Amino acid sequence: QLQLVESGGGLVQPGGSLRLSCAASGFTPEYYAIGWFRQAPGKEREGLSCISGSGRSTKYVYSVKGRFTISRDNAENTVYLQMNSMKPEDTAVYYCAADYTPFSTNMCTVMAEGRYDSWGQGTQVTVSS
- Structure confidence by residue, pLDDT tens digits, 77-101: 999 999 999 999 999 999 999 999 9
What is the tens place of the pLDDT at every residue in 43-87? Answer: 999 999 999 999 999 999 999 999 999 999 999 999 999 999 999
Confidence at residue 84, expressed as pLDDT on a 0 to 100 scale: 98
Mean of all residue pLDDT scores within the chain: 96
Q: What is the tens place of the pLDDT at every residue in 22-48?
A: 999 998 999 999 999 999 999 999 999
Contacts made by residues 27-32, CB under 8 angstroms, sequence distance 24+: 27/2, 27/98, 29/53, 29/72, 29/74, 29/77, 30/54, 30/74, 30/105, 31/100, 31/101, 31/102, 31/105, 32/98, 32/99, 32/100, 32/101
